[in-house]
């Protein structure tokens, strides 16, 4: 196991050493249930799919994911352990990636634990399970996008509450970027190509089709590049702000 | 060997370390002294590769910390200021993590962890969460982490800060036992620590070296070096008896104890024999009589205040 693996394991076990992981998973499952069955009209639609379940995920992640991401680096800075970690013989990339992957794994575990909803829909009807698997993968990648923003914001400050608020704000921006309300607000003189570029950065633009079961490689690529870019930014911020 | 050459670290306008150069050889225990804000911790952070220098180099056994950080860091064990550790882990969990990062695998991990646990006496708190430990234990967990891989270079930022006298004694013994063929750099405010464990001391102020030598050499710079301290039972005019002897300088009366005097040596040569001969022939009413080694504290104040005055 390389250093990346060792850091990943420490971080992931760290989540389960405190109540954080359990609280996160329980709240995630409860809110998912409420959104899907109550507000999403899962039964009323009378269709054997998980569209109501997945279409709420961007909004659920908007508050849940920053809560995990906020401590990633802010706490290291606050307690001074960042000095310990970064004077160990490891690469900064191992630390950034290891922490990110551990948090991402936690959201993955929470997502997997929603399997009773999948069982329900299979019991009640005959859904296209390929579509559901694709949507799960897409949802997980979107969570990764939120987390990567959170990693960078957490690196900016010692205060995890500030990191949380910053992350929610920026994530919100990326969620609504592709929404028609925002796109219609552009004045007529703005060239269409700019509007399209803006819309292409939005999470909803990419996630809507994924939720419907169209797992386009370009959407996954978008989230992968998005994650890589924010993690790179995290590393740069950490390097720059180490001194204070 | 550690070679520090022309090391400078600037934060915006503020210069924390100003053109620092020194070498440390195997077997040396270097005490790093200086007032708060003198640049001690910053220097250590640059040597250990946490911060990068603005200019200059720090070379650890041939590896430049900025060019070959991984190789250089493998040689270093570091206890940062305040001994930060992952508070939600248990002592054992944390030390296992460090052992793995330090490259131990399989059975080596537990045998190595067991070894350092015994060295710093952590047996009783192995299963406890680090957050619940007392300050002394936390500091020892930090030390255990630093000596995990039996490092060639040990850098300890205020290792005994906040410990009780017994714990301080223990940590000093540990450092002394470690240091045979190693390079140890410790920073401290406690001057007695320097005399207790260090073979060499560097005093820095305003980011520059203002004194460098063995503790004895530094003490020799004190105006109290070779001075003779006497306590009388009755008032007596010592100065009159001593006047005219060129090796003997001023006589100072103690500000708290009226009958205690310090006779200074003016040419930094021993004056004990002369003074004791005079005391015997003139029948001084003496109850105590001893030679001062000179006080590091004096030298510390002298050199650091000079530096601050110049800046």
- Is A240's Cβ below 8 Å from some Cβ in B? no
Q: Identify the CA nearest to B253 among candidates B268, B266, B238, B267.
A: B238
How many angstroms separate the CA atoms of B54 and B57, rounded?
A: 9
- In this structure, the answer to whether residues B183 and B112 fall within a common structural domain is yes
Q: Which residues of A touch B145 (CB under 8 A)?
A: 84
Q: Is residue B297 part of a domain?
A: no
Q: Which of B80, B101, B145 sits opposite A90 (nearest CB)?
A: B101
* CB spacing of A242 vs B50 below 8 angstroms: yes
- Is A90's Cβ below 8 Å from some Cβ in B? yes
User: For residues A76 and A11, is the Cβ–Cβ distance under 8 A?
Assistant: no
CB atoms within 10 A of CB B275: 24
- In this structure, the answer to whether residues B204 and B242 fall within a common structural domain is no
User: For residues B185 and B22, is the Cβ–Cβ distance under 8 A?
Assistant: no
* CB spacing of A18 vs B88 below 8 angstroms: yes
Q: Which residues of B touch A83 (CB under 8 A)?
A: 45, 50, 80, 84
Provide the phi-psi class of B231: left if phi over 0, else alpha when psi is between -120 and 50, else beta. Answer: beta
- In this structure, the answer to whether residues B140 and B95 fall within a common structural domain is yes
* CB spacing of A81 vs B86 below 8 angstroms: yes
- Among residues 13-52 of chain B, which lie with CB inside 8 Å of chain A? 45, 48-51
The Cα of A24 is separated from the nearest Cα of chain B by a number of Å equal to 17
Handedness of CA B153, B156, B157, B158 (dihedral sign): negative
* CB spacing of B80 vs A80 below 8 angstroms: yes
How many angstroms separate the CA atoms of B170 and B261, rounded?
A: 36
Write the pLDDT tens digit of every residue in A228-238.
Answer: 999 999 999 99
Name the residue with tokens 């001084």: B284
Q: Is residue B212 part of a domain?
A: yes
Instruction: Say what the pLDDT of residue B243 is.
Output: 78
Parallel, antiparallel or unpaired: strands B63-64 and B29-33 = unpaired
- Is B169's Cβ below 8 Å from some Cβ in A? no
- In this structure, the answer to whether residues B98 and B138 fall within a common structural domain is yes
State the residue range of the domain holding B277: 228-292
- Is B88's Cβ below 8 Å from some Cβ in A? yes
Q: Identify the CA nearest to A152 among candidates A72, A65, A218.
A: A72
- In this structure, the answer to whether residues B213 and B232 fall within a common structural domain is no
User: For residues A14 and B88, is the Cβ–Cβ distance under 8 A?
Assistant: yes
How many angstroms separate the CA atoms of A50 and A137, rounded?
A: 13
Beta bridge partners of B229: B262, B290
Q: What is the CATH number of the domain that holds B75?
A: 3.40.50.300
Q: Is residue B165 part of a domain?
A: yes
* CB spacing of A10 vs B86 below 8 angstroms: yes
Mind listing the pLDDT tens digit of every residue in chain B (311 residues)? 899 999 999 888 888 898 999 999 998 999 998 888 888 899 999 999 999 999 999 999 999 999 999 999 999 999 999 899 999 899 999 999 999 999 999 899 999 999 999 988 899 999 999 999 988 889 999 999 999 999 999 999 998 887 888 888 888 888 888 767 889 999 988 888 888 889 999 999 888 888 888 888 888 777 777 788 888 888 878 777 777 777 787 888 887 877 888 888 877 778 888 888 888 888 888 888 888 777 777 788 888 887 777 65
The Cα of B311 is separated from the nearest Cα of chain A by a number of Å equal to 24
Provide the phi-psi class of B254: left if phi over 0, else alpha when psi is between -120 and 50, else beta. Answer: beta
Instruction: Say what the pLDDT of residue A48 is.
Output: 66
The Cα of B45 is separated from the nearest Cα of chain A by a number of Å equal to 8
User: For residues B116 and B128, is the Cβ–Cβ distance under 8 A?
Assistant: no
Q: Is residue B299 part of a domain?
A: no
- In this structure, the answer to whether residues B199 and B278 fall within a common structural domain is no
Q: Is residue B308 part of a domain?
A: no
Q: Which residues of A touch B73 (CB under 8 A)?
A: 87-89
* CB spacing of A89 vs B102 below 8 angstroms: yes
- Is A86's Cβ below 8 Å from some Cβ in B? yes
* CB spacing of B78 vs A86 below 8 angstroms: no
For residue A159, what are its two tokens? 């205060």
User: b/e for A152-174, b at 16 or more Cβ within 10 A?
Assistant: bbbbbbbbbeebbebbbebbbeb
How many angstroms separate the CA atoms of A168 and B309, rounded?
A: 51
Q: Which residues of B touch A7 (CB under 8 A)?
A: 101
Instruction: Say what the pLDDT of residue B303 is.
Output: 81
Cα distances from B111 to residues B34, B102, B137, B306, in angstroms, run: 39, 14, 21, 51
For residue A196, what are its two tokens? 């399209």
* CB spacing of A14 vs B97 below 8 angstroms: no
Instruction: Say what the pLDDT of residue B161 is.
Output: 82
A107 falls in which pLDDT band (50, 70, 90)? very high
Instruction: Say what the pLDDT of residue A244 is.
Output: 63
* CB spacing of B80 vs A3 below 8 angstroms: no
Q: What is the mean pLDDT of chain A?
A: 88
- The domain boundary, picked from B201, B220, B239, lies at B220
The DSSP symbol for A178 reads T
Quote the Cα angle for A221-A223-A224, to 5°: 60
- In this structure, the answer to whether residues B22 and B125 fall within a common structural domain is yes
Q: Which residues of B touch A86 (CB under 8 A)?
A: 49-50
Instruction: Say what the pLDDT of residue B102 is.
Output: 94
Instruction: Say what the pLDDT of residue A168 is.
Output: 95
- Is B152's Cβ below 8 Å from some Cβ in A? no
What is the SS3 string spanning chain B? CEEEEEEEEEECCEEEEEEEEEEECCCCEEEEECCCCCCHHHHHHHHCCCCCCCEEEEEECCEECCCCHHHHHHHEEEECCCCCCCCCCEHHHHHHHHHHHCCCCCHHHHHHHHHHHHHCCCHHHCCCEHHHCCHHHHHHHHHHHHCCCCCCEEEEECCCCCCCHHHHHHHHHHHHHHCCCCEEEEECCCHHHHHHHCCEEEEEECCEEEEEECHHHHHHCCCCCCCEEEEECCCCCHHHHHCCCCCEEEEEECCCCCCEEEEEECCCCCCHHHHHHHHHHCCCCEEEEEECCCCHHHHHHHHHHHHHHHC
- Is A1's Cβ below 8 Å from some Cβ in B? yes
- In this structure, the answer to whether residues B191 and B68 fall within a common structural domain is yes
Q: What is the CATH number of the domain that holds B246?
A: 3.30.70
Write the pLDDT tens digit of every residue in A151-187.
Answer: 999 999 989 999 999 999 999 988 888 777 777 777 7
The Cα of A103 is separated from the nearest Cα of chain B by a number of Å equal to 16
Residue B286 backbone phi and psi in degrees, to 5? -95, 140
Nearest chain A residue (CA) to B129: A17
Write the pLDDT tens digit of every residue in A123-148.
Answer: 888 888 888 888 899 899 999 999 99
Q: How many domains does chain B have?
A: 2
Q: What is the ipTM of this complex?
A: 0.88
- In this structure, the answer to whether residues B140 and B236 fall within a common structural domain is no
Q: Which residues of B touch A78 (CB under 8 A)?
A: none
Instruction: Say what the pLDDT of residue A23 is.
Output: 93
- In this structure, the answer to whether residues B125 and B261 fall within a common structural domain is no
Q: Is residue B303 part of a domain?
A: no
Q: Which residues of A touch B87 (CB under 8 A)?
A: 79
- In this structure, the answer to whether residues B109 and B168 fall within a common structural domain is yes
């Amino acid at each position: 196991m390389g250093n990346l693996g060792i850091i990943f394991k420490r971080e992931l076990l760290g989540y389960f050493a405190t109540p954080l992981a359990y609280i996160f998973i329980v709240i995630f499952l409860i809110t998912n249930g409420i959104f899907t069955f109550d507000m999403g009209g899962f039964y009323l639609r009378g269709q054997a799919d998980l569209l109501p379940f997945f279409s709420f995920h961007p909004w659920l992640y908007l508050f849940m994911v920053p809560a995990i991401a906020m401590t990633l680096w802010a706490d290291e800075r606050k307690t001074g352990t960042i000095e310990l970690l970064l004077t160990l013989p490891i690469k900064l990339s191992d630390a950034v990636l290891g922490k990110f992957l551990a948090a991402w794994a936690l959201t993955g575990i929470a997502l997997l634990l929603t399997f009773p909803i999948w069982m329900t829909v299979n019991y009640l009807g005959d859904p296209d399970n390929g579509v559901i698997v694709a949507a799960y993968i897409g949802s997980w990648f979107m969570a990764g996008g939120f987390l990567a923003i959170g990693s960078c914001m957490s690196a900016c400050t010692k205060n995890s509450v500030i990191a949380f608020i910053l992350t929610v704000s920026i994530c919100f921006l990326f969620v609504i970027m592709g929404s028609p309300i925002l796109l219609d607000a552009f004045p007529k003189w703005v060239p269409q190509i700019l509007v399209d570029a803006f819309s292409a950065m939005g999470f909803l633009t990419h996630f809507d089709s994924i939720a419907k079961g169209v797992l386009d490689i370009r959407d996954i690529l978008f989230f992968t590049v998005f994650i890589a870019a924010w993690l790179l930014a995290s590393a740069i911020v950490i390097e720059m702000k180490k001194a204070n | 060997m550690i070679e520090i050459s022309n090391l400078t670290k600037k934060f915006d306008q503020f210069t924390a370390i100003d053109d620092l150069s020194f070498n440390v050889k195997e077997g040396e225990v270097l005490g790093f002294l200086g007032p708060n804000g003198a640049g001690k911790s910053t220097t250590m952070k640059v040597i250990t590769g946490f911060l990068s220098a603005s200019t200059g180099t720090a070379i650890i056994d041939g590896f430049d910390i900025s060019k070959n950080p991984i190789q250089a860091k493998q040689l270093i064990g570091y206890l940062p200021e305040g001994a930060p550790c992952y508070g939600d882990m248990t002592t054992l969990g944390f030390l296992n993590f460090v052992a793995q990062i330090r490259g131990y695998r399989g059975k080596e991990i537990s045998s190595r962890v067991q070894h350092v646990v015994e060295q710093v006496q952590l047996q009783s708190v192995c299963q406890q969460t680090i957050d619940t430990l007392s300050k002394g234990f936390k500091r020892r967990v930090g030390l255990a982490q630093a000596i995990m891989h039996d490092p060639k270079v040990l850098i300890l930022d205020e290792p005994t800060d906040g410990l009780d006298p017994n714990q301080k004694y223990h940590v000093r013994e540990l450092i002394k036992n470690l240091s045979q063929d190693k390079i140890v750099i410790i920073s401290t405010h406690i001057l007695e620590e320097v005399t207790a464990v260090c073979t060499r001391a560097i005093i820095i102020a305003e980011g520059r070296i203002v004194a460098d030598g063995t503790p004895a050499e530094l003490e020799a710079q004190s105006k109290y070096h070779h001075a003779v301290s006497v306590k009388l039972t009755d008032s007596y005019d010592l100065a009159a008896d001593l006047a005219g002897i060129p090796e003997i300088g001023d006589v100072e009366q103690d500000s708290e104890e009226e009958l205690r005097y310090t006779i200074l040596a003016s040419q930094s040569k021993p004056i004990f024999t002369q003074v004791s001969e005079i005391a015997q022939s003139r029948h001084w009413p003496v109850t105590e009589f001893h030679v001062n080694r000179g006080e590091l504290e004096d030298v510390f104040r002298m050199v650091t205040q000079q530096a601050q005055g110049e800046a």
